[in-house]
Structure 1
Amino acid sequence: MSALRDTILHWIDKRTSDMLRAPRAWGSDEAIEMQVLLLLQFRALALRPSFDNGDPGSLVDAYMEYLTRAYPKHPHQPLHQIVETDRLGFNIANELKQIIQTFTQSMLEENPFQHNDLAIRLVFEKGRTPATAAFTGYYEEFRRATRAVARRVDKAVGRAPKAIEEATDFTLSDVRVTPKNGAPAEALLLLGAGVPSESRDWVAEQAVRSAIVDLVTMGEWAASEAEVNALPVDDVEQRSRTTVQAMRIVPRRGIVKAEIGGTLVGRAKPVEFRPEHERRFLAVLGSSAPSEDYDKTEEVRGIDLDRGLVIVNRKARLPCYVRPEHLQEVTEVGIQAHVRGTLYKPLAGRPFVIVSHIVPTDTEPSAG
Structure 2
Amino acid sequence: MSTVTASASVEDAVHRRSGDLVALSHDIHAEPELAFAEHRSCAKTQALAAERGFLIEAAPGGLDTAFRAVYGSGSLVVGICAEYDALPGIGHACGHNIIAASAVGTALALAEVADALDLTVVLIGTPAEEAGGGKVLLLNAGAFDDIAASVMLHPGPADIAAARSLALSEVAVSYTGRESHAAVAPYLGINAADAVTVAQVAVGLLRQQLAPGQMMHGIVTDGGQATNVIPAHAELRYTMRANDMESLRALEARMAGCFASGALATGCEHTVVETAPPYDALAPDPFLAAVFRAEMIRNGRHPLPVELEAALPLGSTDMGNVTQVLPGIHPVVGIDAGGASLHQPQFAAAAAGASADKAVIDGSIMLARTVVALAENAAERGRVMEAHARRRAS
Range class of TM-score, shorter chain: under 0.3
TM-score, with structure 2 as normaliser: 0.24
Structure showing greater radius of gyration is 1
- Greater RCO (Cα-Cα under 8 Å, separation 6 or more): 2
Which protein has the bigger strand share? 1
